[in-house]
Structure 1
Amino acid sequence: FWVVLIGGIANTLITYTSDQSVVQRYMTTKDEKETAKSIWLNGIISVPVSIIFFLLGTGLYVFYTSNPANMTIINPNIDSVFPQFIVSQMPVGFSGLLIAAIFAAAMSTLSSNINSVSAVITSDFYKTIWSKITLKSSMNVARWAGIIVGLLGVGMALILATWNIASLWDQFNTFLGLLTSGLGALFFLGIFFPRVGATSAFIGLVVGIVILVAVQGNTNISFLLYGFIGMVSSILVAYLVSFVLPNKKNIKGYTWKSITK
């Protein structure tokens, strides 16, 4: 219970502070009050959704444990159980509707993430590096970025299909903790730790990644805690380093004290 709770909170904080595909959604609200409402509403809705999500796995486990003869796949992995149930146990029509819903949800997630990467490449890299740009050139860069990212995604999916992965969900959360925990740490350092400068934050980020890789390779700690471990490690290291390399820039108006006022 505590692993799921702590890991879930940490991963949610990381996602909602550093994931462009999430941030761009609540950045479309008209003011901070509406943004807060949208975040709270999502948090409330996520509770029953998460319960249903985990109950689905529990239900499948109980069903196939009680009815092992219905499992027709030889040496099934975790990801093959639900498709097997849809095809073999659900009535015709309803199973097709459910498969269509899964594809629709996947397309929605993929399109928003491809759009997010295109936006980041265009706004944070292209417009920063090149001074003479036009709307047409920016649109072309965004389109090509989307095409390239989409092709890379397809290629990565084909590669992952050849790996001996027990669960893509577990693998996704492992990657999420290893690759994004430091980004969440940077957000909290910038908002809540004014004495931490860019150098201290970067050192904390690197050391946090090293610590997390060591934990992942040498312990049996659940992958659900990777995000929490990486984020806390980066914050602690950066804060300690800030006593040697304090922030000397004027950050008035950018910390939580300024925002609350």
Structure 2
Amino acid sequence: MEHRGLDTYGYFEREGSLGQVQGEFAGVVAAARGRIRDAYGRRLHSAYLYGSVPRGTARPGRSDLDLLLALHHEPADEDRDAAEVLARGLDEDFPEIDGVGILLHGKDTLLSEAERFDLGWFLACLCTPLLGADLAEHLPRYRPDSLLARETNGDLAEALPGWRRRVREASTEDEYRRLCRLFSRRLVRTGFTLVMPRWGGWTSDLGESAEIFGGYYPERADQMRAAAVAALDPVADPAVLRAYVEDLGPWLADEYTARHGTKTPRGAG
């Protein structure tokens, strides 16, 4: 029986591990571990990898390195500045990666009730421990249900006005490619979590996500497949971005709201 990323009880199995990191990326992972420790010292509670590197699917020279850092306190300007320096240094020193993304959060936020089915789920299910004590030990098990769908991606409608502004303001090929990659990833992942409870499982593979989505929405399948391709090989075509913010994005946001509702506003209890 296909397990679809779940254990025998229907809970998420944590994806990725340090043992799955390909040899080409061992050096940058080791450097990240040392540099994070040097940059944050006692301010750091724990650090995690996520994305294609710990899943063992990264492409040398094409994939980025994604890190989540949990601090003992809420991030301050000093912490954000350190993250920028850290990301820039790793990106410049290791040609096998194409960019570094660092998420910074206080451990209390990651363990909070408000983030239980968003950042908490993300850490417990999609992040691989790199340094420190694993916060996942303080979080529950998760199932691919409508609550999780709502709290992870139920805010696409809220994001779209900002996307439209960014498309209007972009003018260079690099800016168009960067937005294409960002928007494509978000749309494919949102499309997948829209159908996740019906499909009954989890995948982080964007191509597989698009195919699963297409089984439920055949009239939108080609658009989602194209977005999955663009997420890995982004194009500098403003027409693609306009189609995202004028057609696929609004439709997906409306369908998501109708099926799962909207994400709980942060700041609400």
Fold equivalence (TM over 0.5): no
- Higher fraction of helix: 1
TM score, norm. by length of structure 2: 0.27
Would you tell me which structure has more strand in proportion to its own residues? Answer: 2
* Greater RCO, 1 or 2 (C-alpha within 8 Å, sep 6+): 1
TM-score, normalising length from structure 1? 0.27
